[in-house]
């Protein structure tokens, strides 16, 4: 029988040195990681989504406001109003503006969106806008995260099924758990270069539905902008699946101001600016089918502003042009009605559509676009930019000039506070 090995003093010293090295390595890794610069303050109980308003408020008074520079939309999620500024995403009680939860990182925010009852926050590091975290809207708990190479700036958009993060050279589509379903444009993995249908293209605009992704791109070998229609979730996320791709024609086909305005499962609306010169032409919305074939052209009375946005509500797509709202039938994209003097896109409330207008919020009949009520709103210091509206219960939210404002009828807000269990204050 062999004699047991003895541990010498040198063995003990070596083992201790290795253990100390491992501890130091772990501490250094933690101290230099993104986790060490993250603060998450969650609610002790989930917020409750207030009941939908049964009638329009009699008046609107400002209740609170907070900085909101990381997004251009009034965001809500699971009963909280969401803001993003200075690396921090905050969930607010919509009636008081008080903090319900907070998530902060020592990184710049590229953008914030809300979908699936979650808040999606995208941060910039040395790999671009690559650090993405999904946060529960109800309590601020971190649910999942992803990281990948991205452009230094991205535009986030949602369609109820997917999230699209589009930069000037590259875009990604994510599903509800932040798993990537498609990468398109520039890819950093050389093995995937050959799977992209074109290279060197500038991505000018993109929008999606549950079954279609429309990308407007300018490619080096094309005489004008190209519309490409893709599957948002192909079999392989590295291999785009095209339904169709064509170079635009007509006035404004090569303009950098052209953009995808709306996408459904069977229609795509693309804005083409008018042409100046010897033969001036009116700006237009060109409507394409689900494979990118042109169906009809709708001429517009005025150009669409760079700040234009599109909102889907019920059976219509509502296009805010910069000074008016055009309602398009969801099935065909045919125009239904136009509302003038708009400052932003509409939002539903109590069976009406609320639209921000100078000095007020106008309530419209969603079928005809006729005004049914007008609620005066004081906007001291308003700079004239686009206004995005949101609604939670009896609270109307306005995003403008880099801030989010909460408005309500004071009596209705007081009743809300008394009769609804308020979200718990955050743990500190």
Give the CATH number of the domain where residue 217 resides. Answer: 2.130.10.10
Same domain, 314 and 380: yes
Among 284, 306, 328, the domain-final residue is 306
**Does 169 reside within a domain?**
yes
Joined tokens for residue 48: 């409750």
Same domain, 163 and 202: yes
Same domain, 162 and 231: yes
Same domain, 294 and 164: yes
Per-residue pLDDT for 102 more than 80? yes
Mind listing the pLDDT tens digit for each residue in 264-319? 999 999 999 987 655 678 999 999 999 999 999 999 999 999 999 999 998 899 99
Task: Give me the DSSP letters along 326-386.
Answer: EEEETTT--EEEEEES-SS--EEETTEEEEEETTEEEEE-TTT--EEEEEE---TT--S--
Lowest average pLDDT, out of 15-24, 104-113, 174-183, 314-323, goes to: 15-24
Number of domains in the chain: 2
Structural domain span for residue 264 = 148-306
Same domain, 363 and 404: yes
pLDDT at 234: 98
pLDDT at 191: 72
**Does 86 reside within a domain?**
yes
**Does 108 reside within a domain?**
no
Lowest average pLDDT, out of 132-146, 195-209, 276-290, goes to: 276-290
Same domain, 302 and 312: no
Pairing mode of beta strands 80-85, 75-77: antiparallel
Among 258, 291, 306, the domain-final residue is 306
Same domain, 191 and 79: no
Among 283, 306, 329, the domain-final residue is 306
Tell me the longest C-alpha to C-alpha distance in the chain.
Answer: 104
Are the C-beta atoms of residues 99 and 142 closer than 8 Å to each other?
A: no
**Does 57 reside within a domain?**
yes
Same domain, 175 and 316: no
Q: What is the CATH number of the domain that holds 321?
A: 2.40.10.480
Nearest-CA neighbor of 83 among 403, 400, 428?
403
Joined tokens for residue 156: 């986030």
**Does 241 reside within a domain?**
yes
Average pLDDT of 194-222? 96
Same domain, 349 and 290: no
**Does 394 reside within a domain?**
yes
Same domain, 174 and 232: yes
Same domain, 375 and 247: no
**Does 109 reside within a domain?**
no
Same domain, 242 and 356: no
**Does 2 reside within a domain?**
no
pLDDT at 41: 97
For the chain, give the mean pLDDT: 90
């Amino acid at each position: 029988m062999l004699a047991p090995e003895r541990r010498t003093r040198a063995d003990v010293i070596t083992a201790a040195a290795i253990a100390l090295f491992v501890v130091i390595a772990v501490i250094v890794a933690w101290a230099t990681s993104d986790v060490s610069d993250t603060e998450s303050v969650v609610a002790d109980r989930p917020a409750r989504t207030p009941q939908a308003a049964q009638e329009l408020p009699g008046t609107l008074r400002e209740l609170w406001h907070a900085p909101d520079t990381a997004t251009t939309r009034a965001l809500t999620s699971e009963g909280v109003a969401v803001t993003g500024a200075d690396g921090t995403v905050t969930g607010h009680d919509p009636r008081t503006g008080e903090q319900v939860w907070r998530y902060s990182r020592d990184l710049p925010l590229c953008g914030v969106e809300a979908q699936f009852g979650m808040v999606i926050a995208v941060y910039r590091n040395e790999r671009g806008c690559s650090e993405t975290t999904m946060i529960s809207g109800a309590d601020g708990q971190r649910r999942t995260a992803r990281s990948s190479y991205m452009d230094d700036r991205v535009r986030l958009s949602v369609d109820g099924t997917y999230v699209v993060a589009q930069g000037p050279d590259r875009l990604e589509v994510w599903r509800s758990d932040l798993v990537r379903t498609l990468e398109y444009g520039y890819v950093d993995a050389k093995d995937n270069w050959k799977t992209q249908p074109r290279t060197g293209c500038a991505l000018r605009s993109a929008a999606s539905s549950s079954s279609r992704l429309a990308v407007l791109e300018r490619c080096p070998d094309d005489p004008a902008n190209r519309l490409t229609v893709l599957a948002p979730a192909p079999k392989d996320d590295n291999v785009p699946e095209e339904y169709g791709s064509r170079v635009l024609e007509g006035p404004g086909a090569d303009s950098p101001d052209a953009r995808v305005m709306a996408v459904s499962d069977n229609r795509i609306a693309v804005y083409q600016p008018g042409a100046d010169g010897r033969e001036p032409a009116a700006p237009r919305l060109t409507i394409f089918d689900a494979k990118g074939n042109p169906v009809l052209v709708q001429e517009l009375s005025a150009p669409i502003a760079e700040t234009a946005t599109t909102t889907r509500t019920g059976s219509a797509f509502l296009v805010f042009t910069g000074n008016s709202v055009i309602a398009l039938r969801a099935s065909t994209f045919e125009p239904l009605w136009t509302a003038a003097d708009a400052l932003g896109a509409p939002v539903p409330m109590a069976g009406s559509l609320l639209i921000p207008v100078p000095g007020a919020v106008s309530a419209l009949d969603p079928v005809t676009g006729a005004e049914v009520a007008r609620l005066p709103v004081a906007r001291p210091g308003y700079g004239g930019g686009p206004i995005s509206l949101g609604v939670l219960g009896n609270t109307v939210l306005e995003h403008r000039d880099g801030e989010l404002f909460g408005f309500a009828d004071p009596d209705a807000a007081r009743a809300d506070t008394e009769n609804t269990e308020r979200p718990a204050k955050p743990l500190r």
